[in-house]
Amino acid sequence: MSAAVISTETQSNLSQTLTIQCPPNGLSLQGRIRVPGDKSISHRALMLGAIAQGETTIQGLLLGEDPRSTAICFQALGAEISELNTELVQVKGIGLGNLQEPGDVLNAGNSGTTLRLMLGILASHPGQFFSVTGDSSLRSRPMSRVVKPLQQMGAEIWGRQGNSLAPLAIQGQALKPIHYHSPIASAQVKSCILLAALSIEGRTTVTEPALSRDHSERMLRAFGVELTVDPETKSVTVTGPAQLYGQTVIVPGDISSAAFWLVAGAIVPGSELVVENVGVNPTRTGILEALALMGADIQLENQREVAGEPVADLRVRSSSLQSCTIAGDIIPRLIDEVPILAVAAVFAAGTTVIRDAAELRVKESDRIAVMAQQLTKMGAKVTELPDGLEITGGTPLVGTDVDSYTDHRIAMSLAIAALNATGITTVHRAEAAAISYPGFFQSLTEIIH
């Protein structure tokens, strides 16, 4: 029986509200949790499996809405993908360069990863015409960051507002290799260019201001692609044309999903949680480094390697957090975790400053503005910066009505903040959590004591 009262209610428009009522004497979190499969790896396993020769099998696939969008798109392009589940998904690839021209518009839903990475693959199919779109949120997110380098490679792409917004139309071309100096550290930009380069004769290089997550590089190598990484120059080079071969992919738990439990366990007094089977790829562990700077008690246990990705169980105990500054090269390695880090900062002594995170303004929502507004509603002292947040911790939170703005990470971050708020907190449009973490609220109910 949960010490807090947690309930959900679905409205007539299918919007869902989550209500959390904390008892007067507080609560604690205890137990072991398995988070869904890593979203980034799930996307890439489906995509590479679709363009490889032979069969790819995927274990532990994330069943969120975003990977479903990837699967639907690549089924429309001719790949055979079995029913999605966490146990075993089979992908019968059609080989690089053999995608079929679909009879309808490809819909990436809410998934920026699906749309941006897929553009690189589609642009390199000479003679084929494709059109892609997404939901209202995705249609407002910037695509010029991938369209421009693809155009430098010879791609023909049209879209709204100077080819910067979906819907987009793509006329496949024989592309040329380039050396692209990306103005931002973005795994999506880098991956899009690398995927386009697979069909090109010669060497294509992407150089970033800081190394972004490297799931694409690891998986491309596993599928047989010749690829080199130069950490000193922060560059990745693909030599094409390549041939990909079907593989067995085991998807570890998503550290971005684990981050909610790590912060919850750290800020709720008397708590101890173990989050099992979490991917701890060094390009994704900025969240662990940031929480260590804040004094969180987190231990890595049972460290191992699964299908080329480092994995561990993460044990977190409640602790007294301290403020810190989070900025610079660490930001690309924790960009998705900034909303829940902001919640941790609310309960840390002193003033925490998060900078160099302007990228958050063009995610599923303007995460800087939304987190500042919603935490302020709950009584936190938050100042919105152009590229981040300044948060002075120590002010008790009070339950109130807050809104996810249909952003999955906002919905879950506000739910965790509510665990330490007095009274009743209602999170509106809480159904957004299912985009990356179906079952999040059920898991929350199970660990509350």
User: For position 211, what pLDDT does the model report?
Assistant: 87
Q: Which residues are catalytic?
A: 336
Hey, what are 149's tokens? 């380098």
User: For position 8, what pLDDT does the model report?
Assistant: 87
Residue 1 has pLDDT above 70, yes or no: no
Q: What top-level class would CATH report for the domain 5-36+252-447?
A: alpha beta
Burial classification of residue 182, based on how many CB atoms lie within 10 Å of its CB (0-12 exposed, 13-18 middle, 19 or more buried): middle
User: For position 162, what pLDDT does the model report?
Assistant: 95
pLDDT tens-digit readout, 135-147: 999 999 999 999 9
Report the percent of the chain where pLDDT is more than 90. Answer: 92
User: For position 142, what pLDDT does the model report?
Assistant: 94
Report the percent of the chain where pLDDT is more than 70. Answer: 99
pLDDT tens-digit readout, 335-372: 999 999 999 999 999 999 999 999 999 899 999 999 99
Q: Measuring CA to CA, which residue among 18, 332, 392 is closest to residue 187?
A: 332
pLDDT tens-digit readout, 31-74: 999 999 999 999 999 999 999 999 999 999 999 899 999 999 99
Same topology, domains 5-36+252-447 and 39-250? Answer is yes
Residues 6+ apart with CB under 8 A from 34: 253, 275, 276, 277
pLDDT tens-digit readout, 223-236: 999 999 999 999 99
Could you report how far apart the first and last alpha carbons of the chain are, in Å? 7
Residue 117 has pLDDT above 60, yes or no: yes
User: For position 308, what pLDDT does the model report?
Assistant: 74
Is 324 within 8 Å of 391 (Cβ atoms)? Answer: no
User: For position 200, what pLDDT does the model report?
Assistant: 96
CB atoms < 10 A from the CB of 284, how many? Answer: 28
Looking up tokens 């532990």, which residue turns up? 60
DSSP letter at 120 equals H
Hey, what are 96's tokens? 């690089």
| pLDDT average, residue stretch 93-110 | 96
If you count them, how many residues does the chain have? 449
pLDDT tens-digit readout, 173-220: 999 999 999 999 999 999 999 999 999 999 999 999 998 999 999 999
Residue 12 has pLDDT above 70, yes or no: no
CATH entry, 39-250, from 3.30.1330.20, 3.50.50.60, 3.65.10.10, 3.30.565.10: 3.65.10.10
Looking up tokens 């931002």, which residue turns up? 184
pLDDT tens-digit readout, 245-270: 999 999 999 999 999 999 999 999 99
Is 186 within 8 Å of 112 (Cβ atoms)? Answer: no
Residue 305 has pLDDT above 90, yes or no: no
**Amino acid present at 412:** M
Residue 127 has pLDDT above 50, yes or no: yes
Q: What is the chain's percent helix, strand, coil content, to nearest 5?
A: 35, 30, 35
Q: How far apart are CA 55 and CA 141, in angstroms?
A: 34
The residue ranges of every structural domain in the chain are 5-36+252-447, 39-250
DSSP letter at 37 equals B
Q: How far apart are CA 162 and CA 177, in angstroms?
A: 24
| DSSP string for residues in 327-379 | -GGGGGGTGGGHHHHHHHHHTEESEEEE-S-GGGGGSSS-HHHHHHHHHHHTT
Residues 6+ apart with CB under 8 A from 4: 20, 21, 22, 23, 27, 419, 448
pLDDT tens-digit readout, 433-447: 999 999 999 999 999
Classified as helix, coil or strand, 216 is helix
